[in-house]
A and B are shown apart, each in its own frame.
Chain A
């Protein structure tokens, strides 16, 4: 029996070998090379993808078969009808990258972060745990994005792009 997974809206067959990571499955089997392999050990965030729409995970630390039947969104799945996701455009507008290798992970991670904020998920720097309305302060943004490293050090542009995009989406 072949098992399936949904990637950027398409039904795909999972590999027979359960050792294939979700990251290798996306990159090597489906040729979705926008998903990046940085450290391959859960330390850099370059491989971040979204599960079931807006839940951010590291595809390097997952076996593809664990996500059987689930919907995965990679950077390739964000643009709609030929238009970039507003966050993708914001990264361009703010120079939120230099080499660009961490960018797909940064953008997917940021989408997941926004969903967590909407749900009221607290972070390490949230002062008051008894509120579910948390503003995206500079400190909150930095803490919540700390799982995505940028070795070029383009953090100022990354933070500006995310902050602007978040503010526009949450007026």
Chain B
């Protein structure tokens, strides 16, 4: 690690004042940043520990939930209102990392974690445009089994590693931000960037902007929702692909549906096209298949990751079919 100072912020005002300084990073649980510091991929001169600022999980009068940025992943997953009203979020979090890491990692840190592309981490041996802009990308023609099939560019094919964010994307979560210039709210689906020709920049946050909370909007249909993750071993591995979904039926017709994909792109991937194909149509296997085909129509395989395209399609169909079956069984009884 290169030298840095450490300050524990005692309130948001202090944090954003200190965080506005150059070469300053906010520190949450440290489960990604400590690694990046150790590999000297991040070289801040000051760390502002914001993990103690807000770790509350508050049920809002409009039916939503406000999750403090410092809430630990475990605390979110075990929260009664979240596991019963937004089960896909509990499912996504418990599918990620290990229990120890979930006890350390904060909500905001989960959102802002960086890719686990091995070429990005291989400081000494590989070219990476995300790490060293303009250098080139060794993943595009390298071992790219884990890399992106959607929204990638000729400069970067990295994926966003979070499971939690896939559920947040499907739920339409809103991220509350604060800086010296004021407060604003970004949809989670707008917070992360696609790589384009500037993969060094992961998000639309400005320097010094602090995530203060994540808001789950009221969404009754999310009570029947889930998250399915496909990975190389059954636990403690990043997703090859994953699907977060919720479905609401009126008879046989899909009244509303939410779908997001993980492991396929530089950002948590909300499946807007698939949702459009399905809304107002019958909850049938053919329609689920058509929606999956529409969403993956522009997928572009690299040498090793073409399997992700079929895998994602099949997972979408399987998850939607299971949710629709559950819902229609419940409606009949």
Asked if A19 contacts B1 (CB within 8 A), the reply is yes
Q: Which of B17-36 contact A (CB under 8 A)?
A: 27, 29-31, 34-35
Instruction: Report the minimal beta-carbon distance from B96 to chain A, rounded to whole angstroms.
Output: 9
Which residues of chain A are within 8 angstroms of B30 by Cβ–Cβ distance?
61-63, 66
Identify which of A18, A109, A123 contacts B6 (C-beta below 8 A): A18
Q: Is B135 an interface residue (CB 8 A)?
A: no
Identify which of A18, A40, A45, A120 contacts B78 (C-beta below 8 A): A120
Identify which of A55, A116, A146 contacts B236 (C-beta below 8 A): A146
Identify which of A62, A113, A130 contacts B99 (C-beta below 8 A): A113
Instruction: Report the minimal beta-carbon distance from B325 to chain A, rounded to whole angstroms.
Output: 16
Total interface residues on A, using CB and 8 Å?
40
Which residues of chain B are within 8 angstroms of A41 by Cβ–Cβ distance?
35, 38
Asked if A122 contacts B101 (CB within 8 A), the reply is no
Total interface residues on B, using CB and 8 Å?
38
Residue of A nearest to B94 (CB): A124
Q: Is B104 an interface residue (CB 8 A)?
A: yes
Which residues of chain A are within 8 angstroms of B255 by Cβ–Cβ distance?
none
Task: Tell me, in angstroms, the Cα distance from A16 to B264 when the chains sit together.
Answer: 43
Instruction: Report the minimal beta-carbon distance from B219 to chain A, rounded to whole angstroms.
Output: 16
Asked if B94 contacts A57 (CB within 8 A), the reply is no
Q: Which of A88-143 contact B (CB under 8 A)?
A: 109, 112-113, 116, 119-124, 126, 129-130, 132, 142-143
Asked if A122 contacts B98 (CB within 8 A), the reply is no
Q: Is A147 an interface residue (CB 8 A)?
A: yes
Q: Is A73 an interface residue (CB 8 A)?
A: no
Task: Tell me, in angstroms, the Cα distance from A42 to B83 when the chains sit together.
Answer: 27
Asked if A147 contacts B236 (CB within 8 A), the reply is yes
Which residues of chain B are within 8 angstroms of A42 by Cβ–Cβ distance?
31, 35, 101
Which residues of chain B are within 8 angstroms of A126 by Cβ–Cβ distance?
94
Given contacts A122-B94, A124-B235, A129-B83, contact A62 B34 (CB under 8 A): yes
Q: Is A158 an interface residue (CB 8 A)?
A: no
Which residues of chain A are within 8 angstroms of B103 by Cβ–Cβ distance?
55-57, 112
Task: Tell me, in angstroms, the Cα distance from A126 to B87 when the chains sit together.
Answer: 12
Q: Is B206 an interface residue (CB 8 A)?
A: no
Q: Is B57 an interface residue (CB 8 A)?
A: no
Residue of B nearest to A56 (CB): B100
Asked if A147 contacts B4 (CB within 8 A), the reply is no
Asked if B100 contacts A18 (CB within 8 A), the reply is no
Given contacts A55-B103, A112-B99, A121-B74, contact A129 B31 (CB under 8 A): no
Asked if A129 contacts B87 (CB within 8 A), the reply is yes
Q: Is A72 an interface residue (CB 8 A)?
A: no
Asked if A45 contacts B98 (CB within 8 A), the reply is yes
Which residues of chain A are within 8 angstroms of B27 by Cβ–Cβ distance?
63, 66
Q: Is A74 an interface residue (CB 8 A)?
A: no
Instruction: Report the minimal beta-carbon distance from B231 to chain A, rounded to whole angstroms.
Output: 11
Which residues of chain A are within 8 angstroms of B6 by Cβ–Cβ distance?
18, 63, 65
Residue of A nearest to B46 (CB): A18
Instruction: Report the minimal beta-carbon distance from A122 to chain B, rounded to whole angstroms.
Output: 6
Q: Which of A142-156 contact B (CB under 8 A)?
A: 142-144, 146-148
CB within 8 Å of A: which residues of B? 1, 3-6, 8, 27, 29-31, 34-35, 37-38, 47, 49, 51, 74, 77-78, 80, 83-84, 87, 90-91, 94-95, 97-101, 103-104, 234-236
Could you pull out 30 A-B pairs where Cβ atoms are within 8 angstroms?
Answer: A18-B4, A18-B5, A19-B4, A41-B38, A56-B99, A57-B104, A58-B100, A61-B30, A61-B31, A61-B104, A62-B30, A62-B34, A63-B6, A63-B27, A63-B34, A65-B6, A66-B30, A66-B51, A109-B100, A113-B99, A121-B74, A121-B77, A122-B77, A124-B235, A129-B87, A143-B234, A147-B97, A147-B99, A147-B101, A147-B236
CB within 8 Å of B: which residues of A? 17-19, 21, 40-42, 45, 48, 55-58, 60-63, 65-66, 68, 109, 112-113, 116, 119-124, 126, 129-130, 132, 142-144, 146-148
List 7 tightest A-B contacts by C-beta distance, closest first.
A147-B98, A146-B235, A18-B6, A129-B83, A121-B78, A19-B1, A146-B236
